[in-house]
Chain A
């Protein structure tokens, strides 16, 4: 095993003290003197023309400082899709039409929150209500209401994704058996606890500062510049602590724009904080999907061909939908080898709030359908579902034609470890009625290679300064949003430079001082930012070693290393110099210039999706109450291959959190709408998992591989883990009570109904 000092250790996070004492500042905690409160006026209609907006009464209300509508904007369409302009379909405020209930139409800034609220009621909007459409299968029909105009959108399909390899039709003909299943995946909300919110402050030098709860400071900077018509360099985005994101805070939103614009008009700082209802109705959600899956296989369980067709409910705008759609098709062929595959996915507009990226990015939908069907295939063949997974599981070096090359892959070991730890062989199919065991698996990207935003900068970058007292300042533009990425960056710098964790300071979340980074999405930060930090630290290390060599003048050029505050000759560790001496000498030798390192990471030639892939297998045990249909989670075991573990405590926390999020997705969460209106927009009615719902026992098993692309061999450990849960739970329920639910979420009512039908069928 490795002899790292801090890598792989259960290191306490660097943001701990402030978080447990309440000292940590989130955007919601920021108040500036003279600050105004902003509020958004939202559409009450799912689809309507805006005939006229009269803001005169609102403007006259004492205490109101500004009211804006689309007339006060530059009418620029924007989104993260700068590289693909035909997909940019949003404007900061509705132009001539509204497309979902909750769409921002106007905004107000006033001296207090109540006055701002009152002013909203004084804005008069004349609407002409238009026919609306809510289901993607209706929206694609000829004659359905058209939600967007323009040559690239026909039948409300904004984007179609197709990929294919092998000879799918021929392969199906040769299969012993073929089965086709349809599934429905429902919409869920990110439900991060810190509401979407910002404070913007325009100063008279023509510079804007915005504090905002975001996963992507650089996207906010660059897109705000575009829609406000000012230079990127004149916008400073500060990302304080962020109370969760999960993909729901990786785009520029109207309220961020409005806070900025209102501040520019009033010359005062403006705060806009969405209330919980607004967060539910007017921010993003995970894509609902209609999924048809046809799979051909041999009697021995070998998977031969697969065809997937997906109609996704994109809501009123593209948001990150085209990528979710693409990745859903891609992760459909993970972690099992499929030599012949065809995917057709359609992104369809409906009159609902936009769907977008959410933890797993199309993966949870893919893996639920894929893993449910694998179990059905095993059942058809009378095989152990774990065996069929092992038989078809990906191996290191696996190539997906035209799309990806897998590097390290510990999938097989994950399945075996999970089986062993849960006594799978003794339990599978042998537990009493009502009790079941089941498996779900996954593979996931470790850093999406997507540059939708068209950044000319590197995907990730880091600057490091080493001070003469051997403290180290790491400047990164990546976004800590709770996942622990700042701690990972500090660990990497500490390891390379041989200093203790407490001597590393991470300066982040400020575009004025940190290098641009594409932010927290696609499980990027360990691999991409980690590599940039490592490169920057190694640049300093090289300088230190050069100085050491000249001081020690070894006869032969030996390899030097730095560890625990000493620079020494690798083969003769007793010969070395104190690090502090070397640092001081190095600084003096450079006429007093500080020791500085710069690092970048941009993937080149790494396929269409990611430089590396993580893998895992999960086994759950449940008890289903036959009277009520309620599912009790008893035990969950996840074996995860994230390459070299950087922080064990962090990985375990991610595994647990991801499982419970997936448990909610599978069993209870559902953003219910009727005619485009969200019916449960509160944390009481939207059913998140609570502490009594979680499994009694949770086991995390690490399967360590070495990923050549990752820093110290590391891969992702944040997002992929969300993907196997729903399928795993569905399979477990099947094992417990013999019913297969393909229509999510798997509620007690659905289980009871299926049990009833099963009884009738069996003639009991």
Chain B
């Protein structure tokens, strides 16, 4: 039997009928065609599928969609402000913090969650914040740099 899920995704409310065992990543990718959220292991091991649920990072392969009923979900498609990139996205571009790009959505989501909570992180804190996010291409160096540079930029702008 299908159940009704009510959820706000990237600011838009949705009402969707789904099988109860459907995971959040399946709803995003298969039902809503929000394919920016990636799936690499489907088992909580890589965080390619990270999204924000009420501002907290979640592996969307590891939660049932019904668990986010009534909540706000932000995916990579909801990070930019219309056509204007989020500063983290801009920094990823400038630092060359991606290669194949498969981990990139998850990395940007993890970076955003970190900076929202801790606007002035140390290098070590950045590394810890993305410790669950695997990247096979970049060696993480530029990803860490991009997140740190964004923090600095946002701090300066706030002054």
Contacts and interface: CB of A to CB of B under 8 A. Distances in A.
Interface of A: 10, 12-13, 15-26, 28-29, 31, 190-195, 241-244, 246, 275-276, 481-484, 649-650, 652-653, 656-661, 682-684, 688-692, 694, 696, 698
Contact of A16 (B35, B44, B93, B136): B93
Contacts of B150: none
Contacts of B102: 26, 192-194, 243-244, 482
Tell me which of B29, B99, B104, B143 has the highest count of chain A C-beta atoms within 10 A of its own C-beta: B99
A16 B95 CA distance: 11
A653 B93 CA distance: 12
A335 to B, nearest CB: 23
A115 to B, nearest CB: 13
Nearest to A700: B141
B104 to A, nearest CB: 5
Contact of B139 (A19, A194, A660, A684): A660
Given A193-B38, A683-B43, A690-B131, A19 B101 contact: yes
Given A193-B100, A194-B100, A684-B43, A657 B138 contact: yes
Helix, strand, loop or mixed for chain B's interface?
loop
Contacts of A192: 100, 102, 136
Given A684-B44, A684-B45, A483 B99 contact: yes
Contacts of B36: 21-23
B93 A17 contact: yes
29 contacts: A12-B94, A16-B93, A17-B93, A19-B98, A20-B85, A20-B104, A21-B36, A21-B80, A26-B102, A31-B30, A31-B33, A192-B102, A193-B135, A194-B38, A241-B101, A243-B100, A246-B136, A482-B101, A482-B137, A483-B99, A656-B142, A657-B137, A658-B139, A683-B45, A683-B134, A688-B136, A689-B139, A691-B127, A698-B139
A195 B96 contact: no
Given A190-B136, A192-B102, 17 more contacts: A10-B96, A21-B36, A21-B80, A31-B30, A193-B48, A243-B40, A243-B101, A275-B42, A482-B99, A482-B102, A483-B99, A656-B138, A658-B139, A660-B138, A683-B46, A688-B134, A691-B126
B89 interface: yes
B118 to A, nearest CB: 16
A194 to B, nearest CB: 5
Helix, strand, loop or mixed for chain A's interface?
loop
B131 A692 contact: yes
Interface residues of B, number: 57
Nearest to B142: A653
A191 B44 CA distance: 15
Interface string B99-135: 1111111001000000000000001101110111111
Nearest to B123: A696
A656 B139 contact: yes
B38 A276 contact: no
Contact of B99 (A20, A23, A484): A484
Contact of A24 (B80, B101, B108): B101
A483 B96 CA distance: 11
A23 B137 CA distance: 19
Interface of B: 29-30, 33-46, 48, 75-77, 79-80, 85, 89, 92-94, 96, 98-105, 108, 123-124, 126-128, 130-144
5 tightest A-B contacts by CB? A22-B36, A482-B100, A243-B102, A660-B139, A683-B45
A488 to B, nearest CB: 13
Contact of B136 (A10, A18, A193, A649): A193
B134 to A, nearest CB: 6
A689 B139 CA distance: 8
A690 B134 contact: yes
A13 B75 contact: no
Nearest to A192: B136
Nearest to B37: A22
B141 A698 contact: yes
A275 B131 CA distance: 22
A10 B142 CA distance: 14
A683 B40 contact: yes
Nearest to A275: B42
B145 to A, nearest CB: 10
Contacts of A25: 35
Nearest to B90: A20
Contacts of A20: 85, 89, 92-93, 98, 101, 104, 108
Given A28-B39, A690-B131, A191 B104 contact: no
B134 A657 contact: no
Contact of A657 (B35, B37, B38, B139): B139
Contact of B100 (A244, A658, A659): A244
A688 to B, nearest CB: 6
A690 B39 CA distance: 18
A10 B95 CA distance: 10
A241 to B, nearest CB: 6
Given A31-B30, A193-B134, A661 B139 contact: yes
Nearest to B141: A656
A682 B43 contact: yes
A193 B35 contact: no
A321 to B, nearest CB: 22
Tell me which of B42, B134, B141, B143 has the highest count of chain A C-beta atoms within 10 A of its own C-beta: B141
A681 to B, nearest CB: 10
Contacts of B135: 193
B93 to A, nearest CB: 5
Given A28-B38, A658-B139, A650 B96 contact: yes
Contacts of B44: 684
Given A193-B40, A683-B46, A694-B140, A242 B100 contact: yes
Nearest to A21: B80
Nearest to A658: B139
Nearest to B108: A20
Contacts of A659: 139
B93 A193 contact: no
Contacts of A26: 35, 38, 102
Given A22-B37, A276-B43, A653-B99, A691 B136 contact: no
